[in-house]
Amino acid sequence: MKKILRSSNRKALIALAIGGFGIGMTEFVIMGILPDVAAALNISIPMAGHFIAAYALGVVVGAPLLTTMGSKLHSHRMLLLLMLWFTIFNSLSAFAGNYWTLLVLRFLSGLPHGAFLGIGAVVAGKLSKEGKAARAIATMLAGLTIANVIGVPLGTYFGHNYHWSVAFLIVGIVGILAMAGVYFWMPQMKSSSTGSFAQDMVVFKQPRFWALILLTMIGTGGFFAWYSYIAPLITEVAGHPENVVSYAMVITGFGMIAGNFLGARLAEKYALMDAVLISLIMMVTALIANAFLAEHKLAILVMTFIIGMIGFSLATPLQMAIINASKGSEMIGSSMNHSAFNMGNASGAYFAGLPIAMGYGFTSADFVGAILAGLGVLITCIIILRNNPQLLRQKFRWAAR
């Protein structure tokens, strides 16, 4: 009986991973087909970039909104409804004929993103064996990382060679597969919240919760400061031909896959905030190193793997820390983490773009990323010390000696 239960739980995690694959694909494939979309809709590429921002805004708005609205539904039903929403609006995006239609559809497509991954992370933890919650959450998040290796290149290829809309039709098919997985493999689970609306909102009054949200925004912003300008780093700085960028993105994707499970191992071996601290320190070091190695053709490709790995080693420890800080409102807290992740995406790209616009070169993005990750180190240290003031006293005693 236990073997049957474990097998059922594994299938449920696969269903969540398929959903994560679709979410990862739709979030990042637009970057690869942006020129094709711009040409088809007769708009400029910067204007087409608004579709990326619209999706991110949908994630930020939808995570707390949809999670709160569906908090009384059984978790497996809520996941099914979220994936239905995701499938419908991503599929409709393929048929958008003008700028405004696609802009609205990208916003609507982004709404279920954070809620699905946030609720899915809590569900994955409940489906796991004792002490294996980190690996279960990493299994779900593996869908996001695998999307960067398979889904995004596949969607980009079809978008370039056939029509940009094919990429979103593929996302719609993935959404249907995820819905089938949730429907047939996900065990029936209780509602995502057992308290009242007021009790669910208590989490927003907790300083530790907001500190972790701020940490996610700033710390992951360090990774996205680098990732947003990976193409010019490879072509303009290292001197690779443009077709190498696609291969570099795949290498980064493999790094993300490795980092996802590295983060799970760190979360199991160390205290969660210690695991986050280790990853952020490695991120600062790697980004500074990348700035000096970027001119070397082989070194920069190696660094794309390393930085991708370190960047995603943050995901599971941060997700678990947010869940632990949101007792009684785990679904809302977990979903908000994905809102913060997308804000980190936007802020990292924005701040890294400032020195580039001033003429300091594309490697300046690495230094901006290192500063953001360094601020993440500072915030992590403050959280650790507030959680355990004894550490600070011990340091003072040791210094006094």
Q: What is the pLDDT of residues 134-161, one digit of tens each?
A: 788 888 888 888 888 888 888 888 887 8
Rounded distance between C-alpha atoms, residue 305 and residue 252, angstroms? 5
Helix, strand, coil tally for the chain in percent (to 5): 85, 0, 15
Rounded distance between C-alpha atoms, residue 78 and residue 159, angstroms? 32
pTM for the predicted model, two decimal places: 0.80
What is the pLDDT, as a whole number, of residue 152? 84
In 3D space, the residue among 354, 379, 374, 372 whose CA is nearest the CA of residue 364 turns out to be: 354
Q: What is the mean pLDDT of residues 201-215?
A: 83
Q: Give the homologous superfamily in CATH for domain 193-401.
A: MFS general substrate transporter like domains (1.20.1250.20)
Identify the band that residue 289 occupies on the pLDDT scale cut at 50, 70 and 90.
very high
Specify whether the CB–CB gap between 164 and 36 falls below 8 A: yes
Rounded distance between C-alpha atoms, residue 320 and residue 133, angstroms? 8
Residue 355, Cβ neighbours under 10 Å: how many? 16
What is the pLDDT, as a whole number, of residue 393? 53
Rg (CA), the chain: 21
Q: What is the pLDDT of residues 86-142, one digit of tens each?
A: 999 999 999 998 999 999 999 999 999 988 988 888 888 888 777 677 788 888 888
What is the pLDDT, as a whole number, of residue 303? 95
Q: What is the pLDDT of residues 9-36, one digit of tens each?
A: 888 889 999 999 999 999 878 877 777 8
Q: What is the mean pLDDT of residues 55-68?
A: 86
Could you tell me the two tokens for 100?
Answer: 């405004």
What is the pLDDT, as a whole number, of residue 4? 41
Q: What is the pLDDT of residues 359-379, one digit of tens each?
A: 888 899 899 999 999 999 999
Q: Would you say residue 391 has pLDDT above 90? A: no
Residues of the chain with CATH 1.20.1250.20: 1-192, 193-401
Q: What percent of the chain has pLDDT over 90?
A: 35
What is the pLDDT, as a whole number, of residue 198? 61
What is the pLDDT, as a whole number, of residue 287? 96
Rounded distance between C-alpha atoms, residue 132 and residue 130, angstroms? 6
Q: Report which of residues 348 and 222 the model is more confident about.
A: 222
Q: What is the pLDDT of residues 230-261, one digit of tens each?
A: 878 888 888 888 778 778 888 988 998 899 88
Identify the band that residue 399 occupies on the pLDDT scale cut at 50, 70 and 90.
very low
Architecture of domain 1-192: Up-down Bundle (1.20)
Rounded distance between C-alpha atoms, residue 46 and residue 296, angstroms? 30
In 3D space, the residue among 131, 135, 81, 146 whose CA is nearest the CA of residue 111 turns out to be: 81
Q: Return the bridge partners of 62, or none.
A: none
Specify whether the CB–CB gap between 264 and 137 falls below 8 A: yes
